[in-house]
């Protein structure tokens, strides 16, 4: 089973940013209201994720590191209504098989905190008591120390960090109610307070997407039967050549989907931006039973029950908004 862990790890653990994504999703699953990320050397030396979520009990700590032991999927009767972000029950096991991992945690009312440490696939987790506030800290050190071939595929520290930062940006725009901080090599890169009001949300947006985006962004909020599209779209004043400022969320989950991308692109093409990359942060909300979010293991794809209606709604909404403000 340990070898199986390491093989499967290749699917989940492609690079430091894929580790970070899984860890942050776990923190969100645990109901964290604040998540602090500490990175060293592009994540190769250290990825530390600290949250103030529900924590893990002593008995469950070793289990959390064992493959499939905790999969929530068996408890779910209606897969289509999955509200939780994680569902495979293998991320921590996979990550621990290719790193030196420590999982520290304490629960409300627990007598003390506990830490489980493991080192690669050959070592069973060791449990020790530790002082820890309510919540969980995961430290992933020396990623791929025992898989040199995988390690060779990593790019420069700067490139890996930009992937890590992108993960934080995506997560933080998906959960305005959660505070995030990101440090790299001891330097504070992002510090985002929970954002409730639209003003606070726009402050976070300016910090994550840059002030230029926010200065040229228009807030929209339109609803139709069972569908709501809201968020910010950049207006013509914002000319940015990169295609990386395209954030689309379905029921709070970041997605990259061809149908959605097509609808957005068509609307922009039709009205404004010939040959230019649209920039937007948009949220689509619909009945969870109308969308299957578990199509792909990386979970960036979705399948809409009625794709055509969704496409038309996004296209018509954006088309109207953009046409109204056309210079």
Does residue 113 belong to the site contacting ligand ADP (CB under 6 A)? no
Does residue 88 belong to the site contacting ligand ADP (CB under 6 A)? yes
Residue with tokens 């979970």: 299
Does residue 227 belong to the site contacting Mg ion (CB under 5 A)? no
Q: Which residue lies nearer to ligand ADP by CB, 26 or 181? A: 26
Cβ neighbors of 290 (< 8 A, separation 6 or more) are: 226, 304, 305, 306
Does residue 91 belong to the site contacting Mg ion (CB under 5 A)? yes
- Find which of ligand ADP, Mg ion, none residue 56 binds, CB within 5 to 8 Å per kind: ligand ADP
Site string for ligand ADP, 175-204 (x = CB under 6 A): ------------------------------
Does residue 106 belong to the site contacting ligand ADP (CB under 6 A)? no
Q: List the one residue out of 111, 114, 142, 116 whose CA is nearest residue 129.
A: 114
Segment contacting ligand ADP by CB under 6 A, of 81-89, 109-117, 173-181, 261-269: 81-89
> Cβ atoms within 10 A of the Cβ of 83, count?
10
Instruction: Please tell me the distance from the alpha carbon of residue 83 to that of residue 77, in angstroms, as a whole number.
Output: 12
Q: List the one residue out of 261, 11, 315, 19 whose CA is nearest residue 163.
A: 19
Instruction: Please tell me the distance from the alpha carbon of residue 200 to that of residue 216, in angstroms, as a whole number.
Output: 17
Q: How many residues are present in the chain? A: 327
Site string for ligand ADP, 128-167 (x = CB under 6 A): --------x-------------------------------
Q: What residues between 10 and 29 interact with Mg ion by CB under 5 A?
A: 26
Q: Which residue lies nearer to ligand ADP by CB, 43 or 53? A: 53
Q: Which residue lies nearer to Mg ion by CB, 21 or 132? A: 21
Q: List the one residue out of 168, 119, 139 whose CA is nearest residue 40.
A: 139
Among 44, 64, 255, 260, binds ligand ADP (CB under 6 A): 64
Instruction: Please tell me the distance from the alpha carbon of residue 196 to that of residue 249, in angstroms, as a whole number.
Output: 18
Cβ neighbors of 140 (< 8 A, separation 6 or more) are: 19, 23, 43, 46, 47, 48, 95, 99, 100, 101
Does residue 27 belong to the site contacting ligand ADP (CB under 6 A)? yes
Instruction: Please tell me the distance from the alpha carbon of residue 323 to that of residue 129, in angstroms, as a whole number.
Output: 62
- Find which of ligand ADP, Mg ion, none residue 136 binds, CB within 5 to 8 Å per kind: ligand ADP
List residues near Mg ion by CB under 5 A: 26, 86, 91
List residues near ligand ADP by CB under 6 A: 22, 26-27, 29-30, 51, 53-56, 64, 70-72, 86-93, 136
């Amino acid at each position: 089973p340990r070898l199986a862990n390491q093989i499967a790890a290749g699917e989940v653990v492609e690079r430091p940013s894929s580790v970070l994504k899984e860890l942050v999703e776990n923190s969100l699953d645990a109901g964290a209201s604040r998540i602090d990320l500490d990175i060293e050397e592009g994540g190769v030396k250290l990825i530390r994720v600290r949250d103030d979520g529900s924590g893990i009990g002593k008995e469950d700590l070793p289990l959390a590191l064992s493959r499939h032991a905790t999969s929530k999927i068996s408890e779910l009767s209606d897969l289509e209504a999955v509200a939780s972000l994680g569902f495979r029950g293998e991320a921590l096991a996979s990550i621990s098989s290719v790193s030196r991992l420590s999982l520290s945690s304490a629960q409300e009312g627990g007598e003390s905190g506990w830490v489980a440490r493991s080192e690669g696939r050959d070592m069973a987790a060791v449990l020790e008591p530790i002082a820890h506030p309510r919540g969980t800290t995961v430290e992933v050190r020396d990623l791929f120390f025992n898989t040199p071939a995988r390690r060779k595929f990593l790019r420069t520290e700067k490139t890996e960090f930009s992937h890590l930062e992108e993960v934080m940006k995506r997560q933080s725009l998906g959960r305005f109610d959660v505070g995030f901080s990101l440090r790299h090599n001891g330097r504070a890169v992002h510090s985002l307070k929970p954002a409730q009001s639209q003003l606070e949300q726009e402050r976070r947006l300016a910090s994550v997407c840059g002030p230029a985006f926010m200065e040229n962004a228009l807030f929209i909020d339109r609803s139709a039967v069972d569908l709501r599209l809201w968020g910010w779209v950049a207006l013509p004043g914002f000319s940015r050549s990169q295609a990386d400022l395209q954030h689309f969320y379905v029921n709070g989950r970041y997605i990259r989907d061809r149908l959605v991308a097509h609808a957005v692109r068509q609307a922009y093409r039709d009205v404004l931006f010939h040959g230019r990359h649209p920039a937007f942060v948009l949220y689509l909300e619909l009945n969870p039973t109308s969308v299957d979010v578990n199509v792909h293991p990386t979970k960036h794809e979705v399948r809409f029950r009625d794709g055509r209606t969704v496409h038309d709604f996004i296209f018509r909404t954006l088309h109207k908004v953009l046409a109204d403000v056309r210079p």
